[in-house]
Structure 1
Amino acid sequence: MFSTSMELGQLITIIIMAIALGLDAFSLGIGIGMKGIRLLDIAKISFVIGIFHVLMPLMGMFMGHYVSALLGNVATAAGGCLLILLGSHMIYSSVRGEEHVSFDHRTFLGLLIFALSVSIDSFSVGVSLGMFATDIVLTVLIFGMFGGAMSIVGLLVGRRVSGWVGEYGEAFGGLILLAFGIKFLL
């Protein structure tokens, strides 16, 4: 019934992690959307974020496979610790209310900086996932799909509402990553 080599539980876990990683794109998208943004820019930004949400975890997974081969069983604990640190940092940044550097999303450099800033945590998660047996192609495609889709939603919501949702979205994403990090350690 389930045609890939991935178990249903792994698929659900990856989708939840993709949502958690996408919440960062969602929350920052709200901030940019509140400044006013054209629909063409929304499509362009979301496409680039989706690409980065594919490339960054893919690079991380290859590094994670390498680390796993070197460290063996220690790799699972290292991956769990990495997720805990990443989740904790996302929660801390959200609670502390760190301001994100403003840039012009219409320039090529500004677009790349924005996409990299919301995708850098995908690299770390990719390292953790690379230490486990997962379907790499399906995983990065799910990450890209959710990253792009959640940035579209964030940019559109930002055009309509105030900024309170953004900081809570990042904190919620951090909680999810923290929970999975603890799960990997247990």
Structure 2
Amino acid sequence: MNWVFLQLKQKMSFIQFITFFLIGVGLSFDSFAVSVSCGLMRQEIRFKQAIPIAVSLAFFQAFFPVIGWLAGTTLHKLIYSVDHWIAFGLLALTGIKMMVEGAKPDGTLQSFDPFKVRIILGLSIATSIDALVVGLSFGFLELPILFPVAIIGAVTFLASMLGMLFGKYIPAKCSKQSLILGGIILIAIGIKILVEHLFV
């Protein structure tokens, strides 16, 4: 538990907050798209029913970066000289993957029941794989983890609730377009990290 106290002692600058917030926004688009699908497929969904779904999506989106961070921190000393390139590569590949998914012509949504535990757990894990990769890049760069995961979780929860709220009104293709925007944000963050380490 010592690392928790060390994390809490570290102060977060305004620039770091904005960076973590933008990463959270970028990662949340997967969950937003899923939540829109929930609203589209279950128009009778109510606020109390939406909360467990949003909590599950937010929890895994916040938990997976911790796993990646722990792995990245362990490997950091071995790859110190190229860590910024690895972080850039991971974020860029994740962003490109999201953009490709968003650009696919398939605008139809598969029918599923988000009220089933196995379904929502599967969706939560599937939409959090990208967050695992982002956490890995945090570990490589030895960035604090508690602040970003708290921000990522909060942003994802809000995005999920909004997605279900507007799901019955937002066309499926808009949720696909949100993946493209999320991918662009992650690539931009990767470029920022690379520039900071090479030229600052």
Length, aligned pairs only: 184
Aligned to 1:125: 134
State the Cα deviation string for residues 101-123 of structure 1 (Å, max 9, x = none): 54322211111001112211111
Matched residue type, 2:32 = F
Q: In structure 2, do the counterparts of structure 1 residues 95 and 162 end up closer, same or farther at CA, with 3 Å as the change threshold?
A: same
Matched residue type, 1:33 = G
Deviation, 1:68, is 1.2
User: 105-114 or 93-102: which moved more?
Assistant: 93-102
Distance 2:24 2:135 in 1: 11
> Which structure 1 residue ranges, 5 or more long, are not aligned?
none
Which of 84, 100, 104 is matched with 1:92 structurally? 100
Aligned to 2:184: 175
Identical positions, percent: 26
Report if the CA contact (8 A) 1:6-1:134 is conserved.
Answer: no
Aligned to 1:158: 167
Q: SS of 1:135's equivalent?
A: coil
Report if the CA contact (8 A) 1:27-1:166 is conserved.
Answer: yes
Q: SS of 1:73's equivalent?
A: helix
Aligned to 1:139: 148
Matched residue type, 2:13 = E
Matched, 1:38 2:45: yes
Distance 2:13 2:132 in 1: 23
Q: In structure 2, do the counterparts of structure 1 residues 126 and 117 end up closer, same or farther at CA, with 3 Å as the change threshold?
A: same
Report if the CA contact (8 A) 1:5-1:135 is conserved.
Answer: no
Q: CA RMSD in A?
A: 1.8
Matched residue type, 2:29 = L
Distance 2:126 2:110 in 1: 10
Q: SS of 1:184's equivalent?
A: helix
Aligned to 1:24: 30
State the Cα deviation string for residues 92-148 of structure 1 (Å, max 9, x = none): 111124566543222111110011122111111111112223321111111111111
**Max Rg structure:** 2
Q: SS of 1:159's equivalent?
A: coil
Matched, 1:71 2:83: no
User: 61-70 or 14-23: which moved more?
Assistant: 61-70
Distance 1:97 1:112 in 2: 26
User: 30-39 or 117-126: which moved more?
Assistant: 30-39
Matched residue type, 1:179 = A
> Where does structure 1 differ by over 4 angstroms across 4 or more consecutive aligned residues?
98-102
> Which structure 2 residue ranges, 5 or more long, are not aligned?
1-8, 196-200
Aligned to 1:115: 124
